[in-house]
Amino acid sequence: MKIRCPHCSKEYTIPDERLKALTGAVTIPCPSCRGGIDISPGQGRDPSAPAPRAAKGEERGSGLKERILGSLKDLPPMPQVAQKAREVMAKPTSSFSDLAKVIEADQAIVTRVLKIANSPYYGLSGKVSSVRHAAVVLGSKTLMEMLNLACSSEILGQTLAGYDLEAGDLWTHSLGVAAGSQILARRVKPELEQDAFSAGLIHDAGKIILDPYIQERKQAFRDFVNKSSETFLNAERHILGFDHAELASEACRIWQIPAHIAKAIRHHHDPAESQADPLSFIVHTADAVAMMSGIGAGLDGMLYALHPKAVSFLKLKPDDLSSLMGQIAEFVDKTTREI
């Protein structure tokens, strides 16, 4: 369905699936001018329009998935420094200095870690001059968090033409979901705090892997989304036979990412399928809240459906979601100002 912002006249397409999830009229902020757009369930829907079929002859399903996963082996691995740092952190006898030593071995990463440490969010603007200094002042858990950010900023920062994401869009969204997941975990499962941050940061990494394959099928995706007003996630499932969440969780095995993080990535769009896995609900909720805050990809994100079980599963109150929105926005604003 097409809607027009009454304030700036910009036109947007909203997937019908999102409209079906509405139980009453809502007002959403226009991504362009931030003015309110009123939407009611059923508005402009054409139930007789058939969903278009995937283009014939296109490779899809498990064959395509195996080919994509096979090609990942040719890509440069995730920075080794992150893997080594994780091993150091896992040893109870490790010190600040052991962690700093691992990071200092990669100068490109050192530069990025220092930029993050000096960003306004960590409150040390311009004062941290070495990784060792950052480890002492901020503690090894925060240093690990900054290392994760430094290792992923380049890969998550790229343009994804298949998804119509400009350079930096996915990076900003991932930062928001990482921060939101960490805040939620601190509240409901404190022992998962660091894993929640990592899982939130890479939850949409499947989009990076899939982007060239979507570009190859751009017309089929455009036709599917336009003609049936379906979500892009459903277009992935329909045209490719799997979605970015499923693919990323399998890529995690190749990247040697722990299985419980892979599970949360697998279920970030359908946490109810995770057999009551707290990390899956945490990442899903942070993703939905980031999208509702406008830290996502256009209007599609504005109506991102928070799973009805998420609020009760995480024992959240309505106020918690609005305060989470504020905290996510603050983290993204302050960390991106200097990175």
* Interface residue list for Fe ion (CB under 5 A): 204, 287
* DSSP bridge partners of 13: 2
61 phi/psi in degrees, rounded to 5: 70, -155
- Tell me how far, at minimum, the Cβ of 32 lies from Fe ion, in Å: 21
Q: What is the amino acid identity at position 135?
A: A
- Tell me how far, at minimum, the Cβ of 337 lies from Fe ion, in Å: 22
Cβ closer to Fe ion: 28 or 286? 286
- Tell me how far, at minimum, the Cβ of 203 lies from Fe ion, in Å: 6
Cβ closer to Fe ion: 195 or 243? 243
- Residue 204 to residue 225: CA distance in whole angstroms: 20
Instruction: Sort 187 into a burial class: Cβ within 10 Å, 0-12 / 13-18 / 19+.
Output: middle
Q: How does 150-184 read in b/e, with b if 16+ C-beta sit within 10 Å?
A: bbbbebbebebebbbbeeebbbbbbbbbbbbbbbb
Cβ closer to Fe ion: 193 or 287? 287
Cβ closer to Fe ion: 117 or 178? 178
Cβ closer to Fe ion: 140 or 174? 174
- Tell me how far, at minimum, the Cβ of 156 lies from Fe ion, in Å: 11
Q: Could you give the maximum distance between any two Cα atoms of the chain, in Å?
A: 65
Beta carbons within 10 angstroms of residue 48's beta carbon: 5
Beta carbons within 10 angstroms of residue 47's beta carbon: 6
- Tell me how far, at minimum, the Cβ of 17 lies from Fe ion, in Å: 15
E strands in the chain: 2-4, 11-13, 26-29, 36-39
Cβ closer to Fe ion: 103 or 303? 303
Q: What is the amino acid identity at position 267?
A: H
As a whole number of Å, the end-to-end CA separation of the chain is 38
- Tell me how far, at minimum, the Cβ of 277 lies from Fe ion, in Å: 16
- Tell me how far, at minimum, the Cβ of 204 lies from Fe ion, in Å: 4
Cβ closer to Fe ion: 89 or 201? 201
